[in-house]
Amino acid sequence: MTYHLAGDSTVAPMRPGEEPMSGWGHALDGFVDAPVRNLAFGGATVLSFTETGTWERLLTEVTPGDTVLIQFGHNDQKHPGVLDARGGYTERLRGFVADVRDRGGEPVLCTSCERRWFAGERITPTHGDYPNAVRDLAAALDVPLIDLTVFTTWLYEHLGDEGSARLLSHYAPGETAAWPDGLTDDTHFRWEGAQIIARFVARSLRAIERRDGDQPARGSSITA
């Protein structure tokens, strides 16, 4: 069994020279007992993932019993009309689910990791209707859901403004070679944050696999 990952930069492998910025997918193999094949890339949408041939390349190695984790939304919301939450975005996700099932794989939908935008002690939601659209699609198609929007919102609020900043790409001048003048980025994880998200994803996958092994109803979310 292999875990295949489709998504954007918050999932993608660490790029050489950009250490310690990393998507959570880069850390996942440290918390699961099966190979991880991560095809996520920066700037990806459900449309560009298809148009670049990446989705087809992912499917070529999906075999019965494999799991395909799918997380988009960060960049899709920048393309209103073409990739509306209840339009092109969910229709393409629906197609992804069908493709995986046609190959005997297990699709798992993930909502987007929230951006770390504080308003007082609370995180400001930034993804509009996209997380709800994924939740509704998972329920409609009876697909397991990992709600990373809920989890990351809780995580940042639990740690607070100062504590949660240590999980994101906040670099002082001279700290990293890629950003010698420093960086304040509240979307992309540093390695420490990527590991925490990956650990939660791995825990959620174990819960899904135990549940499926007992033949229970699917389609409910894993959020804690």
Look up the CATH number of the domain holding residue 26: 3.40.50.1110
Considering only residues 221 and 123, tell me which one the structure prediction assigns the higher pLDDT. Answer: 123
- Domain assignment present for residue 97? The answer is yes
Note whether residue 174 is domain-resident: no
Q: Does residue 219 have a pLDDT over 50? A: no
pLDDT score for 213: 75
**pLDDT-derived band at 214, boundaries 50, 70, 90:** low
Residue 188 inside a domain? The answer is: no
- 3 state SS of 159: helix
Q: Is residue 60 part of a domain?
A: yes
Residue 7 in domain = yes
- The 10 Å CB-count burial string (b at 16+, else e) for 133-146 is bbbebbeebebbbb
CA 111 to chain centre: 7
10 within domain boundaries: yes
Contact at 8 Å (CB) between 116 and 123?
yes
- Give me the residues paired with residue 190 across strands: 21
The answer to the question of residue 156 being in a domain is: no
pLDDT tens-place string over residues 79-133: 999 999 999 999 999 999 999 999 999 999 999 999 999 999 999 999 999 999 9
Residue pLDDT, tens place only, 120-171: 999 999 999 999 999 999 999 999 999 999 999 999 999 999 999 999 999 9
Domain span at residue 27 reads: 3-112+128-149+193-222
CA trace torsion 92, 56, 18, 26 (10° rounding): 90
For residue 216, pLDDT beyond 80: no
For residue 162, being part of any structural domain is answered with no
Count of residues making up the chain: 224
Total domain count for the chain?
Answer: 1
